[in-house]
A and B are shown apart, each in its own frame.
Chain A
Amino acid sequence: KNEVEQSPQNLTAQEGEFITINCSYSVGISALHWLQQHPGGGIVSLFMLSSGKKKHGRLIATINIQEKHSSLHITASHPRDSAVYICAVQSGNTPLVFGKGTRLSVIA
């Protein structure tokens, strides 16, 4: 079974800072998902990637398949980015395996 580790567990940043959240996994995968969960519980899928890099607005996700590692970057962070960010991996037809999440607080 894939083990998914995220770091850091908690992160506090000042508005405007560049933020990096890391995710590593133990077994080869076919796809990696980055999810965002706001207080109240709703989850939004930010990215799904299997190689390289994807960008959406101020968010950038990268993955290194050889090193079994992915990063989520937030540029020019804003208080509305405060949320829990969750990494999840998927192999073939198997269900998603989740990391424990990174709790981000961005202070104005």
Chain B
Amino acid sequence: KAGVTQTPRYLIKTRGQQVTLSCSPISGHRSVSWYQQTPGQGLQFLFEYFSETQRNKGNFPGRFSGRQFSNSRSEMNVSTLELGDSALYLCASSFRGAEETQYFGPGTRLLVL
């Protein structure tokens, strides 16, 4: 079974631009969660989608948004990029959610200049 895939793997953007990241979960998994990892803050939860519905949202500004499609693939979007948005963005999938083993993708490393 293929693992969780994320595209692109690396991205360089400038302040003010927007970016869309994609996550394809393991086949059959309906829950996709997104996390931001920075050296200062560590791993922080962004949001979780389950069957195309946002089930939980972390404490991030409205510039961060996401969605999930009927095939469980998920995208997250960051608008009006700031330097502090430079981070590793990870997605994880599972059948039901955080109450079971999470399978992480390789991450997208975003650099904002």
- A40 CA to B9 CA in the complex, in Å? 11
- A5 CA to B37 CA in the complex, in Å? 17
Enumerate chain A residues within 8 angstroms of B56, measured Cβ to Cβ. Answer: 93-95
Taking CB atoms and an 8 Å cut-off, the chain A residues in 46-99 that contact chain B are 48, 86, 88, 90, 93-99
CB distance from B40 to the nearest CB of A (A): 10
Enumerate chain B residues within 8 angstroms of A40, measured Cβ to Cβ. Answer: 106
Q: How many residues of chain A have a CB within 8 Å of chain B?
A: 23
Enumerate chain A residues within 8 angstroms of B101, measured Cβ to Cβ. Answer: 33, 45, 48
- A101 CA to B41 CA in the complex, in Å? 11
Q: How many residues of chain B have a CB within 8 Å of chain A?
A: 24
Contact of B104 among A45, A95, A100 (CB under 8 A): A45
Contact of A45 among B42, B45, B102 (CB under 8 A): B102
A27 part of interface (Cβ distance < 8 Å): no
| In contact, A94 and B98 (Cβ under 8 angstroms) | yes
B81 part of interface (Cβ distance < 8 Å): no
A41-B107, A42-B104 given; 6 more Cβ-contact pairs under 8 Å: A31-B99, A93-B55, A95-B56, A98-B43, A98-B44, A101-B42
Which 3 A-B residue pairs are closest in the complex by CB-CB distance? A43-B104, A98-B43, A95-B45
List, sorted by A's number, 16 A–B pairs whose CB atoms are closer than 8 Å: A35-B104, A41-B88, A41-B90, A42-B107, A43-B90, A45-B103, A48-B100, A94-B98, A95-B33, A95-B56, A95-B98, A96-B102, A98-B42, A98-B43, A98-B44, A99-B42
